[in-house]
């Protein structure tokens, strides 16, 4: 397991934007994929997006595809999730996770951050 740290969550009104950050110093060296997941109370953890060391990106749900963008910085030590046009149903704890490849299955990932809370409310 490797250390990952999420940040950037907060409270935002519907239609607003947030950019989440995942500090992942082992990206492209110790692991080859970073996934974003989210989990709301009483719900299963679900995949949001994923990026590989080659730059391939995936957004998993139609409700997110046009609104969320995953990216990395120049050093690839940080992975971002830009979230626009936020909706109340986006409210959840958001996690980043690392492993050798992308998967929609949370159990696939061996390394996880502690999560950052995103609340979308008027």
pLDDT < 50 stretches in the chain: none
Burial letters for 49-80: b for 16+ Cβ neighbours within 10 Å, e otherwise? bbbbbeeeebbbeeebeebbbbebeeebebbb
Position 83 scores a pLDDT of: 97
What is the chain's length?
A: 122
* Per-residue model confidence (pLDDT) at position 65: 74
Which pLDDT belongs to residue 66?
85
Look at residue 62 in the predicted model and tell me its pLDDT: 75
Predicted confidence at residue 63, as pLDDT, reads 73
pLDDT value of position 61: 80
């Amino acid at each position: 397991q490797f250390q990952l740290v999420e940040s950037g969550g907060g409270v935002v009104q519907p239609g607003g934007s947030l950019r989440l950050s995942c500090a992942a110093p082992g990206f492209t060296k110790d692991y080859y994929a970073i996934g974003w997941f989210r989990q709301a109370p009483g719900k299963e953890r679900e995949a949001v997006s994923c990026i590989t060391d080659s730059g391939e990106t995936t957004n998993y749900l139609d409700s997110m595809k046009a609104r969320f963008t995953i990216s990395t910085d120049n050093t690839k030590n940080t992975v971002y999730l830009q979230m626009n046009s936020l909706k109340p149903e986006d409210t959840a704890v958001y996690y980043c996770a690392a492993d050798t490849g992308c998967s929609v299955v949370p159990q696939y990932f061996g390394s996880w951050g502690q999560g950052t809370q995103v609340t979308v409310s008027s």
